[in-house]
Structure 1
Amino acid sequence: MVLLEFSIYPLDKGESLSAYVARCVEIVHTSGLKYQCHAMGTIIEGEYDQVMEVVRKCFEALQKDCNRIECIMKLDYRKGYQDRISGKVRSIEEKLGHVVQK
């Protein structure tokens, strides 16, 4: 199973990019994959081809009306493990003895 953290946004649309980010988050949401949004990006969990397909769809959605797009990705693969989006956080919380801020 793969965790993919990414952020994708246009560089030619001014300071406020939330409409473009929302367009991509909707693609992530409709993918059916487990995901988590945070202030600087989105984490999705699935098989390699599934998560890369989501990124491709986001790119194509922005490409329609954006002349310059930046995408930053970080990928973590661990064979035989699932539910790592929350499992990794739970592991840290257990070691700390308290819940971390979300």
Structure 2
Amino acid sequence: MISAELTVIPIGTPDTSLSKYVAAAIAALDETHVNYQLHGMGTLLEADNPDDLFEAIKIAHEAVFKAGSQRVVTSVKIDDRRDRQRTMEDKVQSVEKKLE
């Protein structure tokens, strides 16, 4: 399982609100083979293989251009663990268990 944190930022938009562009990126992710979880500062992605993950990132990036942005900055942080399958939920539960 490979996971990533994705942040796609349109630059030079006419308004300070970015939700229109975030919605376009999320709608594009609905067409991919990745699981995702939107949060206040980005989106967590989860895929079975790197190719699906990178394709989803590209699709989300391009969707922001299609939504009208002329410049887009995309940041990606990747966690590719190959010794065992861990989901986003598993990772959070592991930390929460240690806090008990």
Question: Do the structures match in fold with TM over 0.5?
Answer: yes
- Quote the residue 1:24 is aligned against: 25
* Alignment gaps of 5+ in structure 1: 98-102
1:36 maps onto 2:19 in alignment: no
1:72-87, aligned counterparts within 5 Å? 72-87=75-90
- Quote the residue 1:100 is aligned against: none
Runs of 4+ in structure 1 deviating by more than 6 angstroms, as ranges, are: none
TM-superposed CA distance for 1:19, in Å, is 0.4
Structure-2-length-normalised TM-score: 0.87
Structure-1-length-normalised TM-score: 0.85
TM-superposed CA distance for 1:40, in Å, is 0.4
Q: How many residues align?
A: 97
1:67 maps onto 2:80 in alignment: no
Other structure's SS at 2:30 match? helix
- Quote the residue 1:96 is aligned against: 99
Q: Kindly tell me: are residues 80 and 28 of structure 1, through their superposed partners in 2, closer, same or farther at Cα, counting changes over 3 Å?
A: farther
* Alignment gaps of 5+ in structure 2: none
